[in-house]
Structure 1
Amino acid sequence: MTTTIPDSEALRRASLRYLWMHNRDWTQMAEEGEPQIIESGHGVRVTDSEGKSWIDVNGGYNSVNAGYGRTEIGEAAYEQMVNLHYFPQGTTTVPMAKLAAKLAEITPGTLSRVFPVSGGSEANETALKIARAYHKRIGEPGRYKVISRVGSYHGMTAGVLWLGGSPYQPRHDYEPIYPGIVHAPQPNAYRSTCGGETPSECAVKCAEAIERLIEFHGPQTVAAVIAEPVAIPQGAVVPSDEYWPMLRQICDKYGVLLIADEVICGFGRTGKMFALEHWDVVPDIMTVAKGVVSSYLPMAAAIVKEEVADVFAGERNILRHVFTAAGHPVAAAASLKNIEIIENEDLVENSAQVGAYFKEQLEGLAIDHPLVGDVRGIGLLLAVELVSDRDTKAGFAADARVPERLNDKFKRQGLIFRINSNILNMGPPLCITKEEVDEIVHAIDISLWELEGEMGISRMT
């Protein structure tokens, strides 16, 4: 039943008064008539408390892979909840045992030991702890440093907050930085900081930069390299094919563990079940979240190679690490049903095919819009980078308020699509159709026309 408009306004006021929302300012939301109160959803669309339908361009946080409104997932969760909602200490449950086996089956190589947690930040925190503890178990206690990449994102808890980073995710409130965090360049060919005139040269140089960092700090001090297969904050950065195989070889050469953060990239987002399958690379630890359960409930995991996990066997070797909700049976039941839907409905293949169409349509925007500097991505993880000058790749002055103006225009076009920089990141549910892609691209097209008109930018010839 749809909430009445007066009730909707009361909910909005209550949210403004009591709710501390993610990365939002309640005073600004009040001025803009927000927050929106969402009541229901189906596929890529959601309906708000006033009955208006919207397309969710980013499917939650690039996380509603199977789409909204999958009653089968809700039914699986309900059935498990009424049967057994939690578990006694030192035990596990039927759905968690089945989920661990399923994840071992579908992940590449010998990735098979599953440490379940509640979200992506926890998964990456767990991976770092495993990496450092692993080296202590094998007699290398000096290995504590972790190499991550500038412009990557690995979560918001206190440890992983310092991995990666960008100007759009300021961290000065939480200083000082954790010790042992080392930053390498991002293989972003459009804005390469490594040098190289081609994407291949950029990839090689950025991989070599990680090797130089290991050598500079001393291999005996480096525990792990962590990286997203496709980097998100800088806008769906897909490295050239040389990069990941080189990274694997470098880590093997120096005895460093390779951690792949597949929290966003996994479960079909890039047109493969896991993004590293594009390069036939198997990491030592893979972290997953979001798409594993399409955000119907909190579920995530660090999945570890047998060769790494086996050093923790034996009473004196166990990893002292726990979260109350880790391995929750209701979330596990929902995850199993979600993975079943992804597999049975060929959503990974749909991501590849519709994603390619989506990217082609976005590339077409560059013909008419001088603000479009670059279009990149793979599968249904895509981005458009806007520039004020294509030749110099210059951005925009802060007082131009480009993100805020576009957010307002997207909203008027029926999109839930918020940006905080000059990069338009897109990651809709994997069930999206070409017709729905056309709706999104049309709305972006109109919004860019309006913005360019306001900025006095004429159409390209």
Structure 2
Amino acid sequence: MTQMIHRNLRQTPPTAVCAFGMYMRDSNGNTYIDASGGAAVSSLGHSHPDVLAAMSAQMKTTAYAHSGFFTTDAAEELAQRLATDAPGDLNNVYLVSGGSEAIEAALKMARQFFVENGERQRRIFIARKQSYHGNTLGALALGGNEARRKQFEPLLMDVPRVSPCYEYRHRPPGQDINEYTAGLIAELEQKILEVGPENIIGFCAETVVGATLGAVPPTPGYFKGVRALCDKYGILFIADEVMCGMGRTGTLFAIEQDGVVPDLVALGKGLAAGYQPIGALLARDHVVERLRNGSGIFQHGHTYNAHPVAAAAALAVQKVIKRDCLLGAATVRGTTLRRMLRDAFGGHPHVGDIRGRGLLVGLELVQDRATKRPFDPDLKLHAAVKEKALACGLMVYPMGGTADGKRGDHILLAPPFIATEADLGQIVTRLSDAVEKALVAIRPA
């Protein structure tokens, strides 16, 4: 028996022994196409020589420096690059160890922003149903994934929620998309008024919803409406780009395509493409200036903040993305992947929707296409798809609870930006095989 605590305590996963480009190999000699980048992390694929060289060079000089004593050139240069590339005046960068930590830092900075202005009564965040913001307690409280939250509910702060921007399921037949969007903004405004604007710190949303809904993009104008409401009522807008940021959607920040600037942005996953654990919080000037001109500190910190090797890895990843024009590749390949998926699954009786932005793509599986009725959750179709895909030499990222937190299944695809058209064809072919085998597996004998 293993002494390692794995996610599934009754099953030990295969042992990875080699990873290169788009592929991973286990100790039994099986090779897999990594079509999900792990969890939408490996945007450059595995073993990229430029990133490995940058990490090695940093380890030879300064492998670790506590941010309470020192800064490093790697951390400073990464922060400068992120601030330069970010939209608007998101000029201030706080480096952490991952996405959940970035969200925690956002919550604390947002609260401190108002405390430093004497508004101590502000204690409430508004978020959306069917969202995911991380697994630490603050991030878990913010998220609306009921399955993940349920047993920890007594430990979590209360967070009022509004509907997600989920056109496939929530826009009534015949309703204009602009009317649907306006309805969502009206619902958010009603929630703000119900809670009391003077009590609210901020509103948090994923720009493109990742794991919980499966690559659901916002409708046109949605985030402009959100930004206008936050400005109207004096609350902060926090964009969670942990999964959809750093080029995954075809622009470095997904929110660039929506034409607004959040007050705070959380990054993770693709920031260092999996080569080191790192995340970042970006803040607008007015947020940080209030802290700088008040207490002069951000009352927060972790042991591995601004880790120099992690910063060097992230900086190398960002340089490769720019040098090799991989944002354009993500856009072009994403369009190609969705076309291939529509060709393969567009008429499939159990594929209800194919959606996404750039190389963040989702397929929603349904029992009935006409009614959008989900499969019985007891069948665990998403788990069957993952199992059959692995047997086909394919790594995908399926999840359950898509429709309402309990029912519904989707498959998330997030291949690396280096994928060729031939690679995408292989992904679609193997996925088609896996879906058919999974559907057979869940049918009664």
| Matched ranges for 1:259-274 at <5 A | 259-274=238-253
TM-aligned CA deviation for residue 140 of structure 1: 1.8
CA separation of 1:438 and 1:332: change in aligned 2, threshold 3 A: same
Match of 2:403 in 1: none
Match of 1:5 in 2: none
Counterpart residue type for residue 43 of structure 1: G
Counterpart residue type for residue 56 of structure 1: D
Q: Give per-residue Cα distances to partners, 1:127-169, cap 9 Å, x unaligned.
A: 01111110111232211110111111110001110113224x3
Q: Could you tell me whether the CA contact under 8 Å between 2:22 and 2:419 is conserved in 1?
A: yes
Tell me the distance in 1 between the aligned counterparts of 2:433 and 2:274.
31
Counterpart residue type for residue 25 of structure 1: N
* Alignment partner of 1:36 is 2:14: yes
CA separation of 1:201 and 1:42: change in aligned 2, threshold 3 A: farther
Tell me the distance in 1 between the aligned counterparts of 2:223 and 2:394.
35
Match of 1:135, SS state, is: helix
Match of 2:399, SS state, is: coil
Match of 2:8 in 1: 25
Counterpart residue type for residue 58 of structure 2: Q
CA RMSD of aligned residues (A): 2.0
* Alignment partner of 1:415 is 2:415: no
* Alignment partner of 1:353 is 2:353: no
Match of 2:99 in 1: 120
* Alignment partner of 1:439 is 2:426: yes
Q: Give per-residue Cα distances to partners, 1:386-434, cap 9 Å, x unaligned.
A: 1011121111123434223322321221112252321011111111111
**1:69 maps to which of 41, 47, 60:** 47
Match of 1:340 in 2: 319
CA separation of 1:355 and 1:418: change in aligned 2, threshold 3 A: closer
Match of 1:100 in 2: 79
Tell me the distance in 2 between the aligned counterparts of 1:420 and 1:360.
22
TM-aligned CA deviation for residue 173 of structure 1: 2.2
* Alignment partner of 1:228 is 2:206: yes
Counterpart residue type for residue 161 of structure 2: H
**2:161 maps to which of 179, 183, 200:** 183
**1:429 maps to which of 407, 416, 420:** 416
Match of 1:7 in 2: none
Match of 2:150 in 1: 172
Match of 1:441, SS state, is: helix
TM-aligned CA deviation for residue 294 of structure 1: 0.6
Tell me the distance in 1 between the aligned counterparts of 2:300 and 2:173.
41
Match of 1:13 in 2: none
- Sequence identity of aligned pairs in percent? 33
The runs of at least 4 aligned residues of structure 1 exceeding 4 Å deviation read 193-196, 451-457
Q: TM-score, normalised by structure 2?
A: 0.93
Counterpart residue type for residue 168 of structure 2: Y
TM-aligned CA deviation for residue 348 of structure 1: 0.9
Q: Could you tell me whether the CA contact under 8 Å between 1:260 and 1:283 is conserved in 2?
A: yes
Q: Could you tell me whether the CA contact under 8 Å between 1:40 and 1:69 is conserved in 2?
A: no
Tell me the distance in 1 between the aligned counterparts of 2:18 and 2:416.
15
Which stretches in structure 2 are left out of the alignment for 5+ residues?
A: 401-408
CA separation of 1:398 and 1:179: change in aligned 2, threshold 3 A: closer
**Number of corresponding residues:** 434
* Alignment partner of 1:364 is 2:364: no
Q: Could you tell me whether the CA contact under 8 Å between 2:133 and 2:142 is conserved in 1?
A: yes
TM-aligned CA deviation for residue 315 of structure 1: 6.9
Which stretches in structure 1 are left out of the alignment for 5+ residues?
A: 1-15
Tell me the distance in 2 between the aligned counterparts of 1:312 and 1:194.
45
Tell me the distance in 1 between the aligned counterparts of 2:312 and 2:298.
25
Q: Could you tell me whether the CA contact under 8 Å between 1:369 and 1:449 is conserved in 2?
A: no
Tell me the distance in 1 between the aligned counterparts of 2:18 and 2:195.
52
**1:59 maps to which of 26, 31, 37:** 37
Match of 2:270 in 1: 291
